[in-house]
Structure 1
């Protein structure tokens, strides 16, 4: 009567001449003895069990798995939509959001993010400089500006490249008052929004005037680098790689990143599985937003 016919407990009580409390007790007993069982049927595209498995396996606070798989380009749209939805529903008042300077995934998040009616974010702070050449720095500033505009927040831009040409230039830039002031806001960041790059797919190794030379890449690979966050390369256990290249980076280091209370990594694509797994091992993210193909590989412990 209750479960199949949809009758209320008062109606059942009247029809069967039982007290309401008796009906309630019988229904509870039916559930406890297994006469009645509850089955939750998830809609297509929802992967709650896989998300919970990854949360337990990697000590994450939350995982969002998008219903897509394949190369980075194939999953970009799904990552952007999922990242935007997560930010819209999870940012709290007074938040200071730190954003890594450039990522295709994060740009898709910024583009998909609706204009937030109730501004929860006070500042959007750049966590590293632009990738190097002028076009990359412009793109990085535009992405940060888009986040700030959508969130009604104050943008804080680092007026410097992400990687200096040499250590002397690095030291000069990081002594500049405008750069020092921008970097000082890192201490206020409560939520970091980053992506994970693999050694082969990093923006630093693309043509166009970036400052990663063949020697840099060879040195990083020999040192065991598998991926980067904010141009800071790490090994298979997610630990920082010390190198001459690292000494030229103008950006938050991995130890500083780990101190941020909530660290959201939006990343996916079959070519990044090893880098993402290593970043999770190193505690570089507390929240992961990724695609189904990567999630399944992470659950299996398979780097491909």
Structure 2
């Protein structure tokens, strides 16, 4: 660096400035720790602490990847399904909770690469999003917005916290505006939903949802070892469950239910659901599904058939299960629906 760079370094005041400068010199410019210390006017131990903080806060992300495994699986998924996929290496056997934690940790680390200044991100609350939040570090943005994609109010009002608190936690991490969607997850009557959708306040939220740059969501499955909030938290009564079984529902995206072939229009409960339909979700150009359960393979393929996904983040065990199921059924579940690539 020249004298102008030295003047810039000497003008740094905050610990975050020092942390980022130290990380850039050490990891990107290959300076030794001693050289970084001299340039910043810090001790070697101070630089060590700055680099540790950079790793812990997500400024620096270090990955050790099993390239032979995850890269091959990623290529096979894209070839088979037609969507770009990020595969997280998970060593089997692993508990369901740890599998989800590892995928959530990875997603939280790369989310700041996708969500930038001035963008709007639509988020569908759920178990997977809750796990991502647990690993999300602060990455303040300017002019960013987080909008809730589906309502979360239950008949007992217990669901207010699920949706609103998850949106609030993500918005806080990114210093973003939060737009909640304070309506029921499922209305009692289709007519009630139709009337509610005519309210100006609701139309404003719907408009912000449709204008989102990025959507982030999990996949719900009727049978999964890690139960989705929608199936485990009082959102569905017994008649609803019987109806889902009778109509061959395998899972949901944003609380809109799907059959294995991706069909959804004639499933009765969807006329009462508050989440975006697959057609409405398609207005968002980048739609990332995060999945961490081999038992969700059938539901994930249904979501691909419904054209709801442009990109996938999933663990290696789930990737293998999806490939097996896709090939068993003839493959190419998402071939026509490939979208934006991870960047």
TM-score range, shorter-chain basis? 0.7 to 0.9
Which residue number in structure 1 is paired with residue 121 of structure 2? 97
Calculate the aligned-residue CA RMSD, in Å: 2.4
What does 1:43-192 correspond to in 2, within 5 Å?
43-44=65-66, 47-68=70-91, 72-100=96-124, 102-117=125-140, 119=141, 122-130=144-152, 132=154, 133-192=156-215
Residue 104 to residue 145, structure 1, CA distance change in 2 (3 Å): same
| Larger gyration radius, structure 1 or structure 2 | 1
- Structure 2-normalised TM-score? 0.69
Structure 1 counterpart of 2:286? 262
What secondary structure sits across from 2:288 in the alignment? strand
Any unmatched runs of 5+ in structure 1?
A: 1-41
The one-character-per-residue Cα deviations of 1:120-175 (angstroms, maximum 9, x if unpaired) are: 66210111101524222212101001111111111111111111122243234333
Deviation per residue, 1:5-46 (Å, 9 max, x gap): xxxxxxxxxxxxxxxxxxxxxxxxxxxxxxxxxxxxx84486
Counterparts of 1:33-48 in structure 2 under 5 Å? 43-44=65-66, 47-48=70-71
Provide the C-alpha distance between the structure 2 equivalents of 1:79 and 1:135, rounded to a whole number of angstroms.
27
Distance in 2 between the 1:73 and 1:52 partners?
Answer: 26
Secondary structure (helix, strand or coil) at the match of 2:188 reads coil
Q: Deviations over 1:48-107 (max 9, x none)?
A: 11112111211113323342555642312112111112212233332210000x211111
State whether residues 73 and 87 of structure 2, in contact with CA within 8 Å, keep that contact through their aligned partners in structure 1.
no
> For residues 95 and 266 of structure 2, what CA distance do their matches in structure 1 show?
29
